[in-house]
Structure 1
Amino acid sequence: MRRLAVFASGNGTNFENIVTACERGELDAEVVLMVCDKPGARVVERAAAHGVATFVFTPKQYASKADYEREIVARLDAAGAELVCLAGYMRIVGEELLGAYGGRIINIHPSLLPAFRGAHAIEQALEYGVKVFGVTIHYVDAELDGGHIIAQRAFPYEGNDIEELERMIHATEYPLYIETIGKLIDFS
């Protein structure tokens, strides 16, 4: 069984999707650590409900990004994490974490990369007027949303209701993330 760590900053629906897939046996894995940079985030409650160990921190309590990333690496190492899955983690991964886990960190992004990188991809795509939306799973490297693409899935949408579009993105990303994690752990 593979050991996963999931990083999140908010509601935690992708975290819950991954944990639930592990619990149901859809993934031959377990989530051994959830890392969150926002102590009040809903994902912290979700982790507790599933009995998943957490490392919740406030970046401003550290002298530097390198300092809190060294702490994260120590927690990942102690948990025996083999694959890190970013699931709405709203921080750019830095040198310390990439140095220790580079090539073993993946991210899910709500656009068809390389288009619409960064935190507001859905809004940017709507403003641009695209007619095909989608999600991308990619390896994390030093470039923002620039790592090697592992998987993508697209769907048409011609409306302008951001809530409806977000629901469609979630409906697309949840199964794609599980499928992709499954393939990665089967081949490693």
Structure 2
Amino acid sequence: MRIGILISGRGSNLKALIDTCAEPGFRGRIALVISNRPGAPGLAIAEAAGIPTLVIDHKEYASRTTFDAELDQALRKAGVELICNAGFMRILTDEFVEKWRDRQINIHPSILPAFKGMHVHQRALDAGVKITGCTVHFVRAEMDEGPIVAQAAVPVLPGDTAETLAARVLEAEHKLYPLALRLIVDGRARVAGEQVVIDYDGETLAGPLFVPAV
């Protein structure tokens, strides 16, 4: 499976996905990494791994529609079959999302459907939750919506700040995103309606894969 990765910044989840794709026997390869921001550190990570990169600067386009059209064209030219959003800080148009329906995944730093949107970790602390985490899901037009592939739990510790909590959740993201990608590439995760059915360890489970070990 040919994979395209969209980034905007440092590329820490990108690095985790690159490492997974380099493992022997992995059935997918990263065909292209695209950033909407010139100079994004993640571009250097991809280039060091020998992966083709492309900058499509959103500031050079008059509208989201024209930007998304250029993005779509680049992905299709590279033969991409699955898109992974990895710190991609752009809201995509409904038209783009529909074109790539069930072929685009995202990782969000909370256990969805809780704490959608921005400032997730501070909101989790303000709410007094004892467990937070991260979610990999298929992308839909609504922000942070879509069938859930996998989730990981992270405890909220006494004295946590938004920064310390974010760092621990990010560690979980680096484990969860590769796991979810492997499930999809191996054909063990499929969308049925608005849920993901997973064939995991020989047992078919409806709904998200919960990973308490992360």
Q: Does 1:163 align with 2:163?
A: yes
How far does the alpha carbon of each residue in 1:5-64 deviate from its partner, in whole angstroms, 9 at most, with x for none?
Answer: 111111101001101111123632111111111112111111111121122122121111
Q: Give 3-state SS (helix, strand or coil) of 1:108's partner.
A: strand
- How does 1:56-75 map onto structure 2 within 5 Å? 56-75=55-74
Larger Rg: 2
- What RMSD over aligned residues (CA atoms) do the two structures have, in Å? 1.5
> Which residue of structure 1 aligns with residue 75 of structure 2?
76
Unaligned runs of at least 5 residues, structure 1:
none
Tell me the CA shift for residue 167 of structure 1.
Answer: 2.4
The amino acid of 2:35's aligned partner reads C
Structure with the bigger percentage of helix: 1
Q: Give 3-state SS (helix, strand or coil) of 1:152's partner.
A: strand
Q: Give 3-state SS (helix, strand or coil) of 1:48's partner.
A: helix
> Which residue of structure 1 aligns with residue 108 of structure 2?
109
Unaligned runs of at least 5 residues, structure 2:
191-214
Normalised TM-score (structure 2): 0.82
Q: Give 3-state SS (helix, strand or coil) of 1:52's partner.
A: coil
Separation (CA, whole Å) in 1 of partners of 2:120 and 2:25? 29
- How does 1:38-187 map onto structure 2 within 5 Å? 38-159=37-158, 160-187=160-187
How far does the alpha carbon of each residue in 1:104-131 deviate from its partner, in whole angstroms, 9 at most, with x for none?
Answer: 0100000011111112212221222211
Query: CA contact under 8 A between 2:35 and 2:55: conserved in structure 1?
Result: yes
> Which residue of structure 2 aligns with residue 17 of structure 1?
16
- Farther-moved stretch of structure 1 (37-46 vs 137-146): 37-46
Query: CA contact under 8 A between 1:70 and 1:96: conserved in structure 2?
Result: no
Following TM superposition, the consecutive aligned residue runs of length 4 or more in structure 1 with deviations greater than 6 angstroms are none
Separation (CA, whole Å) in 2 of partners of 1:44 and 1:123? 29
Query: CA contact under 8 A between 2:116 and 2:144: conserved in structure 1?
Result: yes
The amino acid of 2:11's aligned partner reads G
> Which residue of structure 1 aligns with residue 33 of structure 2?
34
Structure with the bigger percentage of strand: 2
Normalised TM-score (structure 1): 0.93
Q: Give 3-state SS (helix, strand or coil) of 1:19's partner.
A: helix
Separation (CA, whole Å) in 2 of partners of 1:174 and 1:7? 16
Say how many residue pairs are matched: 187
- Farther-moved stretch of structure 1 (135-144 vs 158-167): 158-167
Tell me the CA shift for residue 141 of structure 1.
Answer: 0.5
Separation (CA, whole Å) in 2 of partners of 1:123 and 1:40? 28
